[in-house]
Amino acid sequence: MVAIQVENVSKRYGTLTALDRVGFTVEEGEIFGFLGPNGAGKSTMINIFLDFVRPTEGTVSIFGHNCQQEGHLARERMGVLPEGYSVYDRLTGRQHVEFAINSKDADEEPMKLLERVGIRDAADRKAGGYSKGMAQRLVLAMALVGKPDLLILDEPTTGLDPNGAREMRTIITEESERGATVFFSSHILEQVEAVCDRVGILYQGELAAIDTIEGLRESMGGGTKLQITVNDIDEGVLDSIESLDGVENAWLSNDGRKVEVTCSNDAKLDVVIALDDAGVDVSDFRTDEASLEDMFAAYTGGSR
Amino acid sequence: MSWRTIASKDYHESKDSRLVRYLLYLFVAACLIGGYVFPVTTTGDVTKDRFAGFMTATITLLLPLLGILLSYNAIVGERESGRLALLLSLPHNRQDVVFGKLVGRGGFLALGVIVGLFGAGALVIYPFGSVSATSTVSYLAYVLLTLAFGAVYFGIGLTISTATVSKQRATVAAFGVFFVFVIVWDAIRDGSAFLLDQAGLIDGTLPQELPNWLLFLHGAEPGMLYERIIEGFFEGSESGPYLSAEAPWYLGEWVALVVFLVWAVVPLLVGYRRFEVTDL
Amino acid sequence: MNWRAIARKDFLDSVRSRTLWALVALFVGLLALIAYAGQLTGETDVTQFVGFTGEAFALFVPLVSVVLGYKAVVDERESGTIALALSFPHTRADFVIGKFVGRSLVLAIPVLVGMLVASVLVVVLYDSVPVFEYLVFSVLSVVLGVSFLAIAIGLSMLTTSGRRVTAGAFGAYIVLGVLWSELIDALVLILWRFDATVLVSPPEWATFAQLASPVESYHRLVTAVFDTGPGTAYTTPDSPWFVDAWVAALLLLAWVVFALGVGYLRFSRSDL
């Protein structure tokens, strides 16, 4: 059974294209990470799920309900942590959750939910006085009302401290174990990596890749990035490095002082040897995990 | 059906031109003010066909300007900037382009005339006048005539637009026509009378009267024709050098109508034909 | 039927913020004052009280409605709370109906409570009180408020700019609630090229246009119940049939449908 079906969706604002013919499906029970830098169009996509924004073309359906024509039916099975919301300043946390319970005709204990997201103590304080992180937890509690079959979380860890982010992950895992489908967007690779079954990468409004984390890493060549400080290098050497086994990409940094290489773990030494063979002086050497940015570079043809 | 695309594009383009838009507002406002003031300045039944004559001076000034402004740039501007080539590289043929422009820009002009004159008509009828079948038909005829008058200058502008190669020349030609026909035409008549008098060709006693053939030529300008048709058909006037009983038949309103229709049709056709055969 | 959750929240909001209590106090005070002052002239027929109240309500109730309604939607859009509310399974129609119903209650309760409290004074101070007519008058006053509430909420849905909604809502109050008759008179006068005699016996359409403002419709309906107040202008022998009371009732209803309808059309199609 398909939870989310996105078909050929575009959204244009005048000449600006926020989404360009995006299509993918999310199966029921999956944890799907929607990855992309800020401004890639992630929130636009989620706003289309919620019918806050109407697509210029294409259709989105959730559990078989078209989001534009039967949005409220789709939302009946959804719990949402939207982006760009704000809470009702004059209502307490508990009143917020009660509102959510009324809205979904659910029958739940508000305090239990607030406890689960860790703001039980603040339940009877006005939400206007909440910090960003507390507000985020509160809205998560509202999203959990009624045991939704699909959780849509837009940048859920915004405003949360590392501890909060970990709790968020726990909740996501618990919900998934309960049988819920989880769709969440983020611009931070680690979060997605930690919990997601599958990832879609959105870049400049286009779906650049869609795969499992392992699949992505594999196609990234193990996901290690080398930074080698050199004194003087000929551009031609980069080509010979790229031709090495296990090397994905090699390029010169902006100041021309460093060679940056993405490659598999095993190939690290080969790269340094190759540089030495080519007569290049290596003065410093560093390895990084491949950052999301490098991943995008790999998937979008290297925008640097 | 691709002329429709062009028509709607051109309609919106005209709407976006601030000068044209304000001129159109001015035209509509002038019509409405005319309709508003007319019942106060006149005595007797206000619905008796004199409103057309009341408006002639305003309309013969504003409508030519509006008509020419809307059309003189229609083709040449796009040709100069290369957009015409772009337009014709899309699946539009030349007929579509001209016809679309005609409908789009002409529609804008027609809209102004219709809104202005019907609004004015309503203000004339209500609350002091009355509506009858004959007055309605006659008013409709008046609106049609005025539309045709707009079409004359629109056609002239279109001819200029298809016949010139640069925007600058089109501008000069368009305003030249406007200047000669609308601004100085009356002075030309007095001037030629003066010259003929000096040359001893006509009798110098005042008021100087031109020979009939010259009167005909001078009276063949669209604005003069428009005025004469209104005087002859709508007001039933039988005075003046053109319409009095002594004037020869070819100065009368029927001939005026024929010449007027020629004006309304020929420039449009010429412009259209030229555009079809010319190199881009 | 999810508008109930929205209506409940909206209503409770006004309870929590004490708006409701302030309005109840205001209306009770106002009506008690009118009831007391109305009989000081020595005239103790109940139409005296109704006449004064009708005039006061005509100015006051629309103002309260506009204040209650004009921020209803635009505020949530500007602050972003709407993203929260609409991420639940409410349609946008539910959202609007909920707001409308919730705020109608916030308006109706003070008016009705005020009339109830005043009725005690009225029974004591005035001659016989016709219970049914008194009730109808109270309900009519609520309906007047509801029509302005619909107008304000309708405007609130039209744009995302709070400033424009504010200007529009208070403009609507001034035009429809305060200046309407003068504006129609001015229009007639302009059309008649400033021949002032026309105002003595205006054309029939002008009479109808006068009636079309919710305030005038309210006056007309009050006159149908108590035969007093400014609405008597419509009950002269030569009044056209289309200024009858049922037309006024239809007009009031039409305002609600029209204002909410137009606002909703726009709101339902826009991106948030």
**Which of C87, C92, C99, C270 should we substitute to test contact with A (largest number of A Cβ atoms within 10 Å)?**
C87
A240-254, B20-34, C98-112: which has the highest mean pLDDT?
C98-112
If pLDDT is split at 50, 70 and 90, which confidence band does B20 have?
A: confident
Q: How far apart are CA B247 and CA C106, in angstroms?
A: 82
Q: pLDDT value at position C175?
A: 95
- List, for residues A272-302, the tens digit of each pLDDT value: 888 888 877 777 777 776 555 566 566 655 4
Q: What share of chain C is helix, strand, coil (3-state, %, to 5)?
A: 80, 0, 20
B36 touches C: beta carbon within 8 Å: yes
Contacts of A51 in chain C (CB under 8 A): 86
Interface of C with A (CB under 8 A): 2, 4-6, 8-9, 12-13, 16-17, 79-81, 83-91, 94, 269, 271-272
Percent of chain C topping pLDDT 90: 63
Which residues contact residue A59 at a Cβ distance below 8 angstroms, ignoring those fewer than 6 apart?
A: A7, A8, A9, A66, A67, A68
Q: pLDDT value at position A264?
A: 73
Which residue do the tokens 């939207």 mark?
A: A82
Listed range (A132-136, B100-104, B113-117, B251-255) with the worst mean pLDDT = B100-104
Q: Contact at 8 Å (CB) between C11 and C89?
A: no
Are chains B and A in contact at 3+ CB pairs closer than 8 Å? Answer: no
pLDDT mean over C10-24:
91
Q: Contact at 8 Å (CB) between A190 and A157?
A: no
If pLDDT is split at 50, 70 and 90, which confidence band does C17 have?
A: confident
Rounded to a whole number of angstroms, the distance from the CA of C253 to the nearest CA of chain A is 28
Q: Contact at 8 Å (CB) between B239 and B252?
A: no
Contacts of A86 in chain C (CB under 8 A): 79-81, 83-84
Contact B40 C203 (CB under 8 A): no
Which residue do the tokens 């086994």 mark?
A: A245
- List, for residues B179-228, the tens digit of each pLDDT value: 999 989 988 888 888 888 888 777 655 555 778 888 888 889 999 999 99
Q: How far apart are CA B97 and CA B7, in angstroms?
A: 8
Q: pLDDT value at position B71?
A: 87
A partners (3+ CB pairs within 8 A) are C
C-alpha closest to that of A41 among A201, A182, A231: A201
- List, for residues B140-172, the tens digit of each pLDDT value: 999 999 999 999 999 899 889 888 888 899 999
Q: Contact at 8 Å (CB) between B68 and B154?
A: yes
C-alpha closest to that of A140 among A93, A176, A103: A93
| Residue from the list A72, A84, A88 with its beta carbon closest to the beta carbon of C89 | A72
Q: pLDDT value at position A303?
A: 42
Distances (CA, A) of C191 to B32, B176, C110, C207, C239: 12, 41, 43, 15, 21
Contact C87 A50 (CB under 8 A): yes
In the predicted model, is pLDDT for residue C234 greater than 80?
yes
Domains and CATH numbers, chain A: 2-211 (3.40.50.300), 220-299 (3.30.70.100)
Q: pLDDT value at position A234?
A: 75
Contacts of C194 in chain B (CB under 8 A): none
Which amino acid does the sequence have at A164?
G
What is the predicted ipTM? 0.73
Whether the ω angle into residue B127 lies within 30 degrees of 0, i.e. cis, is: yes
C187 touches B: beta carbon within 8 Å: no
Q: Contact at 8 Å (CB) between B154 and B160?
A: no
- The residues of chain A scoring below 70 in pLDDT are 217-223, 289-304
pLDDT mean over C209-218:
93
Q: How far apart are CA A231 and CA B214, in angstroms?
A: 95
